[in-house]
Structure formats: C-alpha cells, structure tokens
Structure 1
Amino acid sequence: MKLTILALLSVAIMALAEQFTNPVLWEDLADNEVHRVGDTFYMTASTMHYSPGAPVLRSYDLVNWEYIGHSVPVLDWSSKYNLQNGQQAYIKGIWASSLRYRPSSGQWFFLACIEFSTTYVYVANNPAGPWTKHTTINKCYYDAGLVFDDNDTPYVAYGNTQISVSQLSADMKSEVRSQQVYSTPSNIGTLEGSRMYKRNGQYYIILTRPPDGQFVLKASSPWGPYTIKTLADRVKLAAVPSAGSPHQGSFVDTPSGQWYYMGFADMYPGGRCPVLAPITWGSDGFPTLTTVNGQWGNYDYPVARRNVQSSLGTDTFQGSSLNHKWEWNHNPDTSGFSFANPGLTLRTVSRTDDLYASRNTLTTRIRGPVGTGTLRFDFSGMANGDRAGLAVLRDKSAYIAVEKVNNAYNLVVYTGLTMNTNWSTLSKGTVAARVNNLSVRQVSLRMVANIRPGGAGSAQFSYSLDGNSFTNLGPTASLHNSWEFFMGYRYGIFNFATSATGGSIKVISFTSA
C-alpha cells in the first residue's frame, strides 16, 4: 500500500512539473552564448548596427530573461556607425561574438570580430557593466567562441568551414599560437558559429550548418585531432512548425549538473529567437539532443522558475539612463536627447526626409507572435517640417507620425519604405493616410505587429487623441520574411527635421505588450 501511494505521488508530482514553451523568449536574440556563474545564467546576442551593442541578459532558470547591460557601449570602430554624411553601417557591426567569465581574475570578457577584419576585446568586473575596451587584435576571429580551460589558458575557436583555434596570451591582449584544427567535409557543408568548451578532460567545439544543423567536434587537445558527430539535423520546432530548424547557439549546465543547448530558430519577420532543449552525454563523450516525438519540444523547467524584469510593460523613462532593452539605430547624437524625469526629450538632430538616414531613432524588439507597441508623446515643441512617430523598422518599413507643416499638426502614415541590396535607401515611402489639423498636442500612436513566421507579417497603425479610444489609420503594412537583413522587425521611435533642426518632442511613455 505504501509503495502504491508513493508511486501515485510520484506520478502526481511529475504531472505538476511546469513546462516552458519554445521559443523561451520570442524576441530577436540570435547567435547567443549562454554562460553560468553560480546560480545565475547570462546571455549575449547579435545586434549588428544597433547601439549600444551586444546586450547582456540575465536569468535564474534559463527561461525567463531580463536585459541588464551591453558589452559594447558605443560602436566606435568607424565614423559610418554614426549614420552621418551619407554613411551607414546597416547589418555590419556585432554578430556571433563570445561572452565568458574568468574565475581567476573575477572579470568578464567579450570578444567580437568586426567587419571580417579586426577583433575587439571588452572587459568588465560585472556583466551589467561598466564595460571598457580592453584591446584590439589585428585578426578576425570569425564567429568566435572563447573558453578559459582548467589551467586558465584562453582559447578562441573560429572560422567558416576551415575551423581554427588560437591561444591568447594570459593578459588577453595578443595571440600566442594559432592552428587550423578541422576542415569540414563536403557532405556536411558550411560550418561556422563556433562555441568552445572543456568537459571531463575533453575539448569541444560546437558548430552550426546554417540554417538548420548543429554539429559537435571533440578532442583531447585543443589542437585536435577532432572527431565529429551530429547533434541536430533539420529538427522541427514543435511549438512553431512554420519556424526554421533550431541551430547555432551554446551549451550550458545547471548547478545540479544538467546540460542544455540554447540555439535559435529563424522566425522572420520577427528575427531569430532563442530555443532551449536538454542534452545528455553518452559513453562516447558526445552529447545527444533530447527530442519529443522526434521534434524540438517543450520541456520541464531546468531549475525552479524565477521571474525577472520583463521587457514588456510601460516605460516612462525615469532616471538618467535607458532601460537596456532599448538600442539606437547606429550611434546616437548624445546632445539630441535628455531625460525629463519622467519622460524622454528627443530633439531633432537630422535634417532629412529619410527615416533610414535619421539619427537618434530609438528601437526595441517586438515580442511575438503578435506584439503591440503604444507610444504617447507631447509634440507641442515641434518645428515646422518636423516629423515624429512610431515605425515598424527593417529594410522594408512603415510608420505613423505627427508632422508639422505651416504651423498645423497632421497625422500621417507612410508605407513602402525600402532599402537596396547594399542597404542604401531605395524608397522613402509615400503617404498612405492622413488626418489634418490636430486640435490636441499629445497623442498616442499604436502599432499591432503580427510577426508569426511562415509568411509575410503585418502591422496595423492606430491613434488616440485621449489615450483610451484608438482609431485605425492607413492600410495594413506588409512585413516581409526574408533573412538577408538578419535582424528582425523592431519598434522605432523617431523625430527628424525636414527643414531645420531645433524642434523637439517629449516621449511620455512607451508600452509594449
């Protein structure tokens, strides 16, 4: 009888085990690396041309994440990252970089190759920052994976198809040795996206075959010889069948010794979103992905669920710095914004009628599958020719805005903004809807964005003069799902001058849901 009762209790407890749904965070966070220190997990992701770059996220359960900082305070590698004088850096900048903690010094290191040429190393005593540039290495560690082994020796795995390992100096400022360690056979195809580990005396390099496979290299020396095994090959994401197959990411263990693989799935138009699954280690020393009916499924929480600050909710811009969920489109002109406590004042710093050339566009990720962003602002400080509002921002964009013309304030919706294949502007868009002569000086602009993968998404704009009742304005904008821009659609808050700079708006709040 006792055994029967215990068995029933065991079944009941298992039934009550809370499961998480993939993606763990339906936001554009590609090329992740997840690293644990104590009971806390940290993640970095690609940000390309957005500034500050390389967000640092924190979690206590690998499922619920909060933004706590950025490893790259400013993209200061070239003037084109300032979006000035006809220059731009779209889809350049930070991708597939590495974030690791070094126990011997109590420091965090972030390492990134920029534009296939130079590797930059940043350092911090706290993952939340402040971060500073540590050194420059005149070599590209493409798709880098940093590791500090048991002897505190730093190694970097990197490369595309031809995979190499470099040993760095103890001070992380120069290269000591470099060697190609693996050449991908033609029957596998392109491999990149290195992450490097040492476990039980073995060195591992995990590699992706974009856009749908993950492989593991193993050797007893960082210099090889390495053997290879498939971890995941065209595995479907059960919760979102129209998404791409999970690939490229990182391994991480829990305090109790369980191991997980955090990859990402292509989920355009929303971007590339992190997905999590358990792995187990076999007698051959290789990991095996845990699937559910042959697919990437939903799983029990790795550790007890612990909530953190969500990126959803209302931001009233209190204090003297932005919440770390925000990133500017290219480096901002810091003279063009200030905190009103509450509120954020955005002054015009660009004289243009092109959103893609406008500086100080403030962006944040759209939460899928359907995200709603609501901007409320005071536009009484606008100058004639100014245009300010809310965009759905990517290489094909649309926006709703207040414009001031001949001392009259009008609402406009622009659609059809597009870029060329070199990311220069092809079209600045055209007016699709208009409401003339607003009688108020504060307005709420809303965008509802459907970013489900598998087809073109959509964005519907609306406005409210009283902050409560909303009226749709303009046609539904189509959000394309091609991958070439890499980054997914974002909310964009902008204010630019078509005539002369000097005007301003006050952002009262932004609510994402």
Structure 2
Amino acid sequence: MIITSSMVIKKRNTLGKGIAFIAMAISLQISPLFGQGSVTSKATNPIIFSDMPDLSMIRVDDTYYMSSTTMHMNPGLPLMKSKDLVNWELFGYGHTTLQDMDELNLDNGKNAYGNGTWASSLRHHNGTFYVSTFAQTTGKTYIHITKDIENGPWEVQEFEPMMHDHTLFFEGDKIYMIWGGGKLNIVELKSDFSGIKPETQRVLLENATLPSTAAGTKGGLPAEGSQLFKVNGKYYLFNISWPPGGMRTVIVHRADKLEGPYEGRVVLQDQGVAQGGLIDMPNGEWYAYLFQDYGAVGRIPFLVPVKWEDGWPVLGINGKVPSELDLPANKGLIPGIVNSDDFSRKEGDAALPLVWQWNHNPVDELWSVTARKGYLRLKTGRIDQSFLQARNTLTQRTIGPTCVGSTAIDISHMKDGDFAGLSLLQKNYGLLGVRMSGNEKHLVMINATTGTPEEVATVAVNQKIVYLKAMCDFTNKEDVATFYYSVDGKAWLPIGTALKMTYTLPHFMGYRFGLFNYATKQAGGYVDFDFFDIHQSEH
C-alpha cells in the first residue's frame, strides 16, 4: 500500500528547548562541478544534492512526478512531485513492509543492506498511475496501481520472477516489461498485472552494451537501467553502461517498431552523469533526468537539456552537462526532502513526517511520539551486539555540500548495557552516543572508517540531558564528518576522531543521520529524543 501523509513542518523554539543553532537560508545555489555558493535566479546542477538515485519521472498536465530508490529503508520507494522539475517534495512511499522476513527485520543476524527495492518504473496510462519495482530480497516484481497518485487508494500486484532494472511500457492494450543487463529481454504482462505471459518472452537486444564497449572487451559493467519511451512514433530505449577504464555512459537505442530492429549510440559521456530517461515540459522543451555518483553523500540527480536532431535525442550543451539550467532556481531540500522535527504533534498530524525512514522494518510497539508529548521515545526490545543489526534506527538523508544534524536526548531511563545517540549510517559508520555500564554513563564516539568499529573517545556523563551533533562535509567529495557534544546546547566540544565517510557497495546508499537506541544486556530501557535539527552550514 502506498503511504502518504501531509508534511509536518514546525519550527524549533530555540530558547524553549535549548538548541543554539539558527538554520541558514537554503537559497544558495550549489554545484559540485562548477563552483559552490553562487547565488543565481536559475536552477543549478545537481538539482538534488542528496541520495536520490534510479529516477523515473513523468509529467501529467503541469505536474511532474518522480520515484526513486531507498533500498532497505522503511517505508520505501519514495514518491515526489514538482511544478518546475527542480524543487521536489515527498508525498508518499510505495510500501511499508515488503515482507515479514529475517532479512528485512534484522533478525537472526540477517539483513537486507544493499538489497530491498530499487530502480522503479513510474508510468501514467489512460488516466491511471503505475509504479512498478522489484526486490532481490523477496524475488518478486511489484506493481502499484491507482487513479490518484497523491491520495490513492492503491491496488498492489506482486508476482515472480523478479525483473531487474525493468521498464514498464504500454502499447495499445498490451503491457510490456523490458529488463536485464547486457542482454535485454522483453515480455508481455497479463492484463490484470498478476504475472507475465511466459510464451511472449524473448530477447530484445542481445548486447545492449555495444555502442559504448566493443564486443569481447573484458571488464566494466554491461548496459542496464532500462527506460523505454515513445516519441513521435519512434521508440527510444535508455540504458547506462560503464566501459572498462571509462565512466558511466548513457546509451540510447532507437527503433521504428517496438520489436525492433534497434540501432544504438552513446548520447552522453561526461563526468559520470548517467542513468535515467526523458521528460518533456508543457512548453515543448525536453530534459534528461540522470544522476551522478558523488561519493559518500550518495547518487545525486542532474537535469540535462535535450535537443532533437535527425530523430535522435542530443543530450547536454556540446556534449557536456551544464552547471546552470534555464529553469526556476533551486530553493533547497528543506522541508521537501529533509527537515527538522521537534516531535510535537497536533491532532491529525502523521506520527512521523515523510522525511523519516526506518533502517529496515521497525518494531512499532517500541517507538512513540505520544508516550511523552514533544519527544520521540525509542525503547529497547531485545539484545543486540551490533549497531548495524539493531532495529528502530530512525534516519534522514544527509545533504550536500555540507550539513549539520543535531539532537538532544533524555537518558534518565536507560538500563545497564544500553547505547543510544546520533549516528551517521553506512557500512563504515560513525556513532556518538551514551552508553550505560552498571550505574555509570559515558559519552562514547565510535569510528568505523576502516570498516571495523573503534571506540576512540569516552567522556563521563552526569546530567540527565545530553546534546549531540554531527557535521558532514561533502564538498568536492571531501567526505569527512566530525562529532560534537554539549551539556547545555550552547557550548559545543569536539569529540573523537574525524569519520572518513565512504560510499560502500554492501550498503549502496548515501550516508544518513540516524537516531538509535539498542540494548546489549537487558531489554526495556528507553530514551527520549527532544528534537532533531538539520540545516546546511557554512563551509
């Protein structure tokens, strides 16, 4: 079921609750490629300086809709909308729990890091919206169907097999999927979306990688990430490849008929900006939506202007990705993509705004925003020895080029062995939290830069409330984070060592701020988070 909610956007009373930050205005237009901090009335690339990969986009009248990937996060399959292609707002998710299984529940030492769902396909056909995706974790393909994408209700169909990196495509009264890597397959779906028609499956392209990589070449990554479009009666199949020794590359195959034959060419090879498809504007202009691997912050979306020449889409300005676009200016990612939260809720508010996602499936009875008004309570329910296996870590994206996340925690109800605090989540994570040992509490900074967590700092704690802060610098892929603590929310002290953040393939996700609490000796303790503040910072 698609999850939707009105955004909960509130301001923190800095005098009343102790945080001594003033969020900067997020009107700075920033490009990691072409300079930073320049103010302009036009949009700049990247359009979203945060982890938002595997884009699929449509336009319905004057509104653009987009789906993306969040892998093992819950809820997953984020859905966004925009009026200008630049400024986006989360309005829903494709799913909460894909399935009740050990990998998605972080049970019995199992996890779904780097798995879950990704590379969705968003389509609008005959007044109906379709969001299809797949999950390696469950081995299934999923299709979500509704007449009203923002409000539902939704019908969900799921079936086997899992179709990797597929594109959903409608041709008359027939429904197709194209999927695969290198060798691309096409199959017709049943009219009720309950499965495939096996007798219709065939190879569409034997080697979709050829335009970028000569046959027989070893290494690199084959063409994948299929997205098919029909423009002026012709069919355009977008794929990404990664030639050995080269960079991420956009390939397009064109045909006069769906079944082919297809001819292909490289349409963009610049700074690794690749994977996505086409979107048109009401005024007749065209763009390609793509993304770039940008180190620890994740895979960040770009828009590239498109012109049509001899029936082919020509991407970029003289083959290059522009830093500036003839589109309205970026207004920042707060509050549409990330946002601060004081955990105060009025009647009718969602328990958690859509900017929040749990690391894997949560245990709902162990968290609350109503048990104590104005606080997020995280209660322990089992014994864990590893942060990455602990349940109920609540996360938000980090954003570039720099950002700061901070929180305050009431630690007066912890139990022996509990560990709670602020994290930067990825395989090589950083933690700053309070650990209770016997009757004593200490602030502990754990640095997993090397892949192995190391306890690098310990400070005794005597007060009931502690303030924690993490600062991230993704400028020019610097990818360094530093941690701080305070006893009053005003005077901050550095603690521990710098975390060198690394985008690792086992997790396949940009770093995220996280609020965590887990037990190592006995269950039943809890902590109350007073707020979470996120803002961009001066470099």
Q: What TM bracket, shorter-length normalisation? A: 0.7 to 0.9
CA deviation map 1:68-99 (0-9, x unaligned) = 11112212163311001111111111121212
Describe the SS at the equivalent of 1:510.
strand
Conserved 8 A contact 1:18-1:301: no
Describe the SS at the equivalent of 1:373.
strand
Aligned residue among 332, 336, 356 for 1:326:
356
Q: Displacement, 1:295?
A: 2.5
What is the aligned length? Answer: 475
- Is structure 2 residue 383 aligned with structure 1 residue 351? yes
Q: What residue is the counterpart of 1:87 in the other structure?
A: 110
Conserved 8 A contact 1:116-1:142: no
CA deviation map 1:202-226 (0-9, x unaligned) = 1221011135100111112221111
Return 491-500 or 68-77, whichever deviates more.
Answer: 68-77
Distance 1:91 1:502 in 2: 30
Return 68-77 or 358-367, whichever deviates more.
Answer: 68-77
Distance 2:330 2:503 in 1: 33
Aligned residue among 181, 195, 204 for 1:181:
204
Conserved 8 A contact 2:407-2:468: yes
Q: What residue is the counterpart of 1:253 in the other structure?
A: 280
Describe the SS at the equivalent of 2:388.
helix
Describe the SS at the equivalent of 2:300.
strand
Task: Classify 1:332/1:131 alpha carbon distance in 2 versus 1 (closer, same or farther; 3 Å).
Answer: farther
Conserved 8 A contact 1:28-1:271: yes
Q: Displacement, 1:469?
A: 2.1
- Is structure 2 residue 134 aligned with structure 1 residue 112? yes
Conserved 8 A contact 2:102-2:108: no
Aligned residue among 170, 178, 184 for 1:157:
178
Q: What residue is the counterpart of 1:277 in the other structure?
A: 304
After TM superposition, list the pairs within 5 Å mapping 1:76-475 onto structure 2: 76=99, 78-104=101-127, 106-115=128-137, 117-128=139-150, 134-149=156-171, 151-176=172-197, 177-184=200-207, 186=210, 188-189=212-213, 190-210=222-242, 211-233=247-269, 235-236=270-271, 245-283=272-310, 285-291=311-317, 294-302=319-327, 309-317=335-343, 318=345, 319-340=349-370, 341-416=373-448, 427=452, 429-439=453-463, 441-454=464-477, 457-475=479-497
Return 492-501 or 124-133, whichever deviates more.
Answer: 124-133
Q: Displacement, 1:502?
A: 0.6
Task: Classify 1:158/1:412 alpha carbon distance in 2 versus 1 (closer, same or farther; 3 Å).
Answer: same
What amino acid is aligned across from residue 316 of structure 2 in structure 1? T
Distance 1:467 1:254 in 2: 47
Describe the SS at the equivalent of 2:117.
coil
Distance 1:342 1:330 in 2: 25
CA deviation map 1:94-144 (0-9, x unaligned) = 12121222334x343333243494212223443345575622222232101
Conserved 8 A contact 2:50-2:398: yes
What percentage of residue pairs aligned between the two structures are identical? 30
Conserved 8 A contact 1:361-1:494: yes
Distance 1:305 1:38 in 2: 22
Q: Displacement, 1:418?
A: 6.3
Q: What residue is the counterpart of 2:515 in the other structure?
A: 493
Conserved 8 A contact 1:102-1:109: no
Q: What residue is the counterpart of 2:7 in the other structure?
A: none
What's the TM-score once normalised by structure 1's chain length?
A: 0.87
Describe the SS at the equivalent of 1:95.
strand
Distance 1:198 1:263 in 2: 18
Task: Classify 1:300/1:288 alpha carbon distance in 2 versus 1 (closer, same or farther; 3 Å).
Answer: same
What amino acid is aligned across from residue 178 of structure 2 in structure 1? A
- Is structure 2 residue 93 aligned with structure 1 residue 61? no
Q: Displacement, 1:399?
A: 0.5
What amino acid is aligned across from residue 355 of structure 2 in structure 1? K
Distance 2:151 2:351 in 1: 13
Task: Classify 1:84/1:253 alpha carbon distance in 2 versus 1 (closer, same or farther; 3 Å).
Answer: same
Distance 2:115 2:135 in 1: 11
Q: Displacement, 1:386?
A: 1.1
Describe the SS at the equivalent of 1:269.
helix
What's the TM-score once normalised by structure 2's chain length?
A: 0.83
Describe the SS at the equivalent of 1:388.
strand
Task: Classify 1:330/1:313 alpha carbon distance in 2 versus 1 (closer, same or farther; 3 Å).
Answer: closer
Distance 2:361 2:138 in 1: 20
Aligned-pair Cα RMSD in Å: 2.4
Conserved 8 A contact 1:269-1:480: yes
Conserved 8 A contact 2:69-2:118: yes
Q: Displacement, 1:460?
A: 0.6
Distance 2:519 2:189 in 1: 48
Task: Classify 1:448/1:140 alpha carbon distance in 2 versus 1 (closer, same or farther; 3 Å).
Answer: same
Distance 1:377 1:311 in 2: 24
Conserved 8 A contact 2:482-2:497: yes
Conserved 8 A contact 1:120-1:133: no
Could you tell me which runs of 5 or more consecutive residues in structure 1 were left unpaired when the two chains were aligned.
1-15, 237-244, 420-426
Describe the SS at the equivalent of 1:474.
strand
Describe the SS at the equivalent of 1:81.
helix
Return 175-184 or 489-498, whichever deviates more.
Answer: 175-184
Distance 1:368 1:114 in 2: 30
Distance 1:263 1:130 in 2: 28
Task: Classify 1:291/1:220 alpha carbon distance in 2 versus 1 (closer, same or farther; 3 Å).
Answer: same
Could you tell me which runs of 5 or more consecutive residues in structure 2 were left unpaired when the two chains were aligned.
1-38, 214-221
Describe the SS at the equivalent of 1:87.
coil
Conserved 8 A contact 1:72-1:122: no
Q: Displacement, 1:304?
A: 8.2
Conserved 8 A contact 1:61-1:301: no
Q: Displacement, 1:482?
A: 4.8
Distance 2:150 2:510 in 1: 24
What amino acid is aligned across from residue 253 of structure 2 in structure 1? L
Task: Classify 1:131/1:430 alpha carbon distance in 2 versus 1 (closer, same or farther; 3 Å).
Answer: farther
Describe the SS at the equivalent of 1:280.
strand
Q: Displacement, 1:160?
A: 0.5
CA deviation map 1:422-465 (0-9, x unaligned) = xxxxx4x23211111322x222210001223545x211110122
